Chains A and B, each alone.
Chain A
């Protein structure tokens, strides 16, 4: 029995048949169907179970506002929970399952919750599961998670690609119904850059769902023709399947385009979805309106749906899963439903119109002044109970009930900035109000225009006005004649009576729950929402909020606008987290930076470490080395005994030029720079304005007006930013120019007693490298390898005789290989960041662990470097009393009293006999390593009055790891304290 409930007409392609499965059963539909419409065409009304009570549910709507018909779509890694069947576009082979059930959909074991409903009222979880505390994690939470909740995740990696991008336009039209189409045609024909986005796969909005005529054609045909014209305009971008999810600052909008959700799977290399950031000079919200239900007892039975939704199923999808339909309405819309169904040959049992002055024009029974009080049929509607105007009760058999409670303008996006909807009494609903986002205007039903003609007109006029703001002259598009009927409604939000009447079907919130919340003292609507969960989860209460508010107003005796309104936050409909990530997933989460010797190092089998975005070689294992320390110890010893090479390109390099460059450096470094001679390098200490150390490095003077500064790898970006701040904001007329050259030069450290002999094989003979001609802290522009321009600095981080040599980066790989070849006779090693770190600790050089943002020059033992003779950044505040205390922390070295013992960075120093607590804290260890040169662990750390305490024995206490070690305070310069090697 295939598509037993498919009627004539509709905007589906009957020439093609699509096979799909729901809960393991096979069905057929057509292109143009949604999963919900295809199921309806097959007579399926039951599509899910409710969140809390596991009540059987069918679709309430035909769109993205759907609270009930949530399914798990696809299987395996592509399984997607909580997909609304009402917007899931049908494709061949679609596989969906109902969710939130144990057992069959028609016999859910957890439906027992429904019988327990007296105990599961608002605030139930808050009140019940508070104690005993230990039960929460082990019992209550798993139980609740199993019983309540929606679909499940696959727990596999998402196999799909997600894209993102940026679009710009003069006018963004949000929604492609009559107002949106009229606006886009008006703006498009005027030559403006227009984007028209609509969440549906078929542009036209309700024009595709109604039997209206526009001019001499149907609404659907006019929509199709208009969309075709827009698609043909080069200045218009037509974006179906695209939901504008949020309106952000300054005209920036987020939009999710579903590129491949209507396909079994995306084509290879193609994205499933694209998240667009749209920069719109003006935007026009034409999002239409959402119909709201009327609450009454058992109004959640499968088969009870909104009137406009039923018209969509009947008119657009030719699917009516019933022989008899009843209609419950408080406005004229219900009569439109009756007329449409009659025209389709569907029997209309009755129109139950709560208004006593209900029109009686059609060929169907109208029960004026009557209301529906109950519905029967657990798994599918069988009949409704009606209370007539005269007080009598009548039961009407029907399989579908179409409820029309009036229309709510879709004000969602107007709230994302500062808009606050205002009450419109004629509409009995909220319309956009307050201060809208700059550049945003609203047209059509979203603005409260309830006739087709008014929508067309307001869309065109709003487009003209928006473009006029931009200086673009547009003329309202020629608009076809359309219905212009007045909107007549007598508000009715719920039918009083016994039993449970559902306000929010997704969260199982009833009229009773709202009343209970009120009795318990909840006054604010926002509190009501959080207490009852009304308006939460995937549909965000699009069909529920106003009903909840109305009941609240009734309880408080206030009007609805006095009671308040809930505002909406982005996103308009759910967005997969993967779409926010876009292409930035896995290894592409962020870019990496590679050093000039990276490819060479990779070939040597180097182990890499991430340093910010940089990938740096950490050590270079050799055959037989199974443990990292073997490699690192070897690299350290070989460097100290002969010579080692290390890629130090990642250190920031900043070119500083200008006639007042020296003066500039003098102001940003704490120590003096004005008199640094050309051809010399000086260590520089840079402070923040608060006197803390910002960074350190060396600066070389290549010419009177030309310096090259180095920064630490970590601070390269921050230091450059700081220097630009000083240059532009503090001393704008100082003649100094700065630019980063970090990546222009491949720079290698060559360190060790044989460093000079090795370099002499590389540097062209014209350059004398003797200690006399090129002493410690010298620098020069030289040539290497037969004429390549290079820079040479005699500086040392390791404490050995050392140089740093720089060549244009493209030659860095070749230079590394040349250095290694030339170094073979000295058994030269290439060392990584780990050996670099060991050697700097052995030498007592401060690095990132010590320059941690809380330390001053005094702490680092360099207090004397801060020149008092000049005004440099940080010099004044470094003189604060509190920073100069006699017991200030000072950097010193530590070794274990028993050389076989170990300690860790982060340990705190405590006197031998004192209790290990904060009051007795003497300082803390910052850097620790095994020194292969000394054969035991060494450390650097900050100790109160440390310089005067050499020889003292303390405890290094690490209460986190429960380790204590007796340590002796020593000089931080473990190696060559006199500094003879660097000057050799």
Chain B
């Protein structure tokens, strides 16, 4: 597979490590009310779509960027890849 790195262009997937669903970006606040339930959902509940799936890949043997890759699970077609830090900021994460 080739991962279209947003900074470095197409790169062989053997340079990457796969983590899984990009939902892992949306970590709940551990001090919030009902945190235990929120963390349960965050860590254990996953959609398993036949189609586009946003997932985290780490460019471990490259520039060590975490990427959010959008991949069609039926065809392996990759329709986009963004820096995970940009995605995280866009989802309202900061410090």
A726-743 CB contacts (< 8 Å) to partner B:
728-734
The reply to whether A732 and B85 form a contact with Cβ atoms under 8 Å apart is yes
Given contacts A250-B1, A724-B64, contact A729 B56 (CB under 8 A): yes
Q: Which residues of chain A are within 8 angstroms of B89 by Cβ–Cβ distance?
A: 732-733
B78 within 8 A of A: yes
The CA-CA distance from A730 to B28 in the complex, in Å, is 10
The reply to whether A728 and B1 form a contact with Cβ atoms under 8 Å apart is no
Interface flags, A247-268, vs B, CB<8A=1, else 0: 0111110000000000000000
Interface flags, B52-68, vs A, CB<8A=1, else 0: 00001010100011100
User: What range describes how many residues of A lie at the interface?
Assistant: 20 to 34
B37-61 CB contacts (< 8 Å) to partner A:
39-40, 42-43, 56, 58, 60
- From B12, B31, B36, B75, contact of A877 by CB (8 A): B36
The CA-CA distance from A731 to B30 in the complex, in Å, is 14
The reply to whether A731 and B93 form a contact with Cβ atoms under 8 Å apart is yes
The CA-CA distance from A721 to B60 in the complex, in Å, is 8
| A436 CB to nearest chain B CB (Å) | 12
The reply to whether B30 and A279 form a contact with Cβ atoms under 8 Å apart is no
A690 within 8 A of B: yes
The reply to whether B66 and A725 form a contact with Cβ atoms under 8 Å apart is yes
| A712 CB to nearest chain B CB (Å) | 18
The CA-CA distance from A689 to B2 in the complex, in Å, is 30
- From A418, A728, A875, contact of B66 by CB (8 A): A728
B84 within 8 A of A: yes
Q: Which residues of chain A are within 8 angstroms of B30 by Cβ–Cβ distance?
A: 871-872, 875-876
- From B35, B42, B78, contact of A250 by CB (8 A): B78
The CA-CA distance from A872 to B43 in the complex, in Å, is 15
The reply to whether A730 and B27 form a contact with Cβ atoms under 8 Å apart is yes
The CA-CA distance from A248 to B95 in the complex, in Å, is 41
Q: Which residues of chain B are within 8 angstroms of A870 by Cβ–Cβ distance?
A: 31
Given contacts A724-B66, A725-B58, A871-B30, contact A732 B94 (CB under 8 A): yes
Q: Which residues of chain A are within 8 angstroms of B10 by Cβ–Cβ distance?
A: 250, 279
The CA-CA distance from A715 to B49 in the complex, in Å, is 32
B66-83 CB contacts (< 8 Å) to partner A:
66, 75-78, 83
The reply to whether A252 and B2 form a contact with Cβ atoms under 8 Å apart is yes
- From A250, A660, A880, contact of B36 by CB (8 A): A880
User: What range describes how many residues of B lie at the interface?
Assistant: 35 or more
Closest-by-CB residue of B relative to A667 is B30
| B4 CB to nearest chain A CB (Å) | 9
The reply to whether A876 and B35 form a contact with Cβ atoms under 8 Å apart is yes
| B44 CB to nearest chain A CB (Å) | 8
Given contacts A249-B76, A250-B2, contact A729 B85 (CB under 8 A): yes
Q: Which residues of chain A are within 8 angstroms of B1 by Cβ–Cβ distance?
A: 248-250, 252
The reply to whether B24 and A728 form a contact with Cβ atoms under 8 Å apart is no
- From A248, A279, A690, contact of B43 by CB (8 A): A690
A142 within 8 A of B: no
A438 within 8 A of B: yes
| B14 CB to nearest chain A CB (Å) | 9
Given contacts A876-B30, A876-B35, A880-B36, contact A725 B77 (CB under 8 A): no
The reply to whether A877 and B43 form a contact with Cβ atoms under 8 Å apart is yes
The reply to whether A721 and B58 form a contact with Cβ atoms under 8 Å apart is yes
Given contacts A251-B2, A252-B2, A728-B66, contact A733 B19 (CB under 8 A): no
- From A660, A717, A871, contact of B95 by CB (8 A): A660
| Interface SS of B by simple majority | mixed
The CA-CA distance from A879 to B35 in the complex, in Å, is 11
The CA-CA distance from A199 to B76 in the complex, in Å, is 29
Interface flags, A233-251, vs B, CB<8A=1, else 0: 0000000000000001111
- From B58, B87, B94, contact of A724 by CB (8 A): B58
The reply to whether B78 and A729 form a contact with Cβ atoms under 8 Å apart is no
| A353 CB to nearest chain B CB (Å) | 46
The CA-CA distance from A871 to B39 in the complex, in Å, is 12
Q: Which residues of chain A are within 8 angstroms of B56 by Cβ–Cβ distance?
A: 725, 729
Q: Which residues of chain B are within 8 angstroms of A418 by Cβ–Cβ distance?
A: 75
Q: Which residues of chain B are within 8 angstroms of A252 by Cβ–Cβ distance?
A: 1-2, 12
The reply to whether A729 and B94 form a contact with Cβ atoms under 8 Å apart is no
- From A438, A725, A871, contact of B19 by CB (8 A): A725
Given contacts A728-B66, A729-B25, contact A249 B85 (CB under 8 A): no
Interface centre among A248, A438, A689 (most CB of B within 10 A): A689
Q: Which residues of chain B are within 8 angstroms of A435 by Cβ–Cβ distance?
A: 75
- From A728, A730, A877, A880, contact of B65 by CB (8 A): A728
Q: Which residues of chain A are within 8 angstroms of B94 by Cβ–Cβ distance?
A: 731-733
Closest-by-CB residue of A relative to B94 is A733
| A470 CB to nearest chain B CB (Å) | 13
Closest-by-CB residue of A relative to B3 is A250
| A3 CB to nearest chain B CB (Å) | 50
Q: Which residues of chain B are within 8 angstroms of A721 by Cβ–Cβ distance?
A: 17, 58, 60
| A701 CB to nearest chain B CB (Å) | 21
The CA-CA distance from A583 to B10 in the complex, in Å, is 26
The CA-CA distance from A339 to B92 in the complex, in Å, is 78
Closest-by-CB residue of A relative to B83 is A728
Q: Which residues of chain B are within 8 angstroms of A872 by Cβ–Cβ distance?
A: 30
Given contacts A731-B93, A731-B94, A732-B89, contact A879 B31 (CB under 8 A): no
Closest-by-CB residue of A relative to B78 is A250
Interface flags, A874-892, vs B, CB<8A=1, else 0: 0111011000000000000
Q: Which residues of chain A are within 8 angstroms of B65 by Cβ–Cβ distance?
A: 728
The CA-CA distance from A724 to B56 in the complex, in Å, is 12
The CA-CA distance from A875 to B31 in the complex, in Å, is 10
The reply to whether B2 and A279 form a contact with Cβ atoms under 8 Å apart is yes
Q: Which residues of chain B are within 8 angstroms of A729 by Cβ–Cβ distance?
A: 24-25, 56, 66, 84-85, 87-88, 93
Q: Which residues of chain B are within 8 angstroms of A438 by Cβ–Cβ distance?
A: 77
Given contacts A279-B2, A724-B58, contact A730 B17 (CB under 8 A): no
| A869 CB to nearest chain B CB (Å) | 9
Closest-by-CB residue of B relative to A739 is B64
The reply to whether A879 and B66 form a contact with Cβ atoms under 8 Å apart is no
The CA-CA distance from A248 to B13 in the complex, in Å, is 12
| B82 CB to nearest chain A CB (Å) | 12
The CA-CA distance from A435 to B72 in the complex, in Å, is 15
The reply to whether A871 and B29 form a contact with Cβ atoms under 8 Å apart is yes
Closest-by-CB residue of B relative to A731 is B95
The CA-CA distance from A728 to B89 in the complex, in Å, is 10
The reply to whether B36 and A876 form a contact with Cβ atoms under 8 Å apart is yes
Interface residues of A (CB under 8 A from B): 248-252, 279, 418, 435, 438, 660, 689-690, 717, 721, 724-725, 728-734, 870-872, 875-877, 879-880
Other 13 A-B pairs with CB < 8 A, given A690-B43, A725-B24:
A249-B76, A250-B2, A279-B2, A418-B75, A435-B75, A689-B43, A724-B58, A728-B84, A729-B84, A730-B88, A730-B93, A871-B31, A877-B36
- Top-10 shortest CB links A-B: A871-B30, A732-B85, A250-B2, A733-B94, A876-B30, A728-B85, A249-B1, A728-B66, A732-B88, A876-B39
Subset of 12 A-B contacts with CB under 8 Å = A250-B10, A660-B95, A689-B39, A721-B58, A724-B64, A725-B58, A728-B66, A732-B88, A733-B89, A733-B93, A875-B30, A880-B36
Interface residues of B (CB under 8 A from A): 1-2, 10, 12, 17, 19, 24-25, 27-31, 35-36, 39-40, 42-43, 56, 58, 60, 64-66, 75-78, 83-85, 87-89, 93-95
